[in-house]
Amino acid sequence: EPEVTQTPSHQVTQMGQEVILRCVPISNHLYFYWYRQILGQKVEFLVSFYNNEISEKSEIFDDQFSVERPDGSNFTLKIRSTKLEDSAMYFCASSPGAGATGANVLTFGAGSRLTVL
């Protein structure tokens, strides 16, 4: 069964450092997303990406965050200068295009846990 893969599974970093979280979405999916979940809290939407550009972003996704699809398979989330409050589980997800089977259904990766010290 196709899956979304994320690396690293856990990253520990110092406050102020740059972090890049990587994701390989399902190959024929067209929409890509990042969500985050602070420990014990709800899953929050960060950003969606379609056709090589951001299609939606939340208030959380400020100038410290950026996303990129550097090649045909990877989808990355960069946090420019990490803060303590960025500590969370970051989930990547992807979904098929409109009209495709399973449209609207997001398939999530296993998550990347970021710990900022």
Q: Shortest distance, CB of residue 55 to another protein, whole angstroms?
A: 4
Q: How far is residue 52's CA from residue 58's CA, in Å, rounded to a whole number? A: 18
Position 108 contacts another protein (CB under 8 A): yes
Position 107 contacts another protein (CB under 8 A): yes
Binding mask of the shown chain, residues 63 to 102, with x at each position contacting another protein by CB under 8 A: --------------------------x-x-x-x-------
Q: How far is residue 8's CA from residue 74's CA, in Å, rounded to a whole number? A: 13
Residues lying near another protein in the complex (CB under 8 A) are found at 31, 33, 35, 41-45, 48-50, 55-56, 58, 89, 91, 93, 95, 103-111, 113
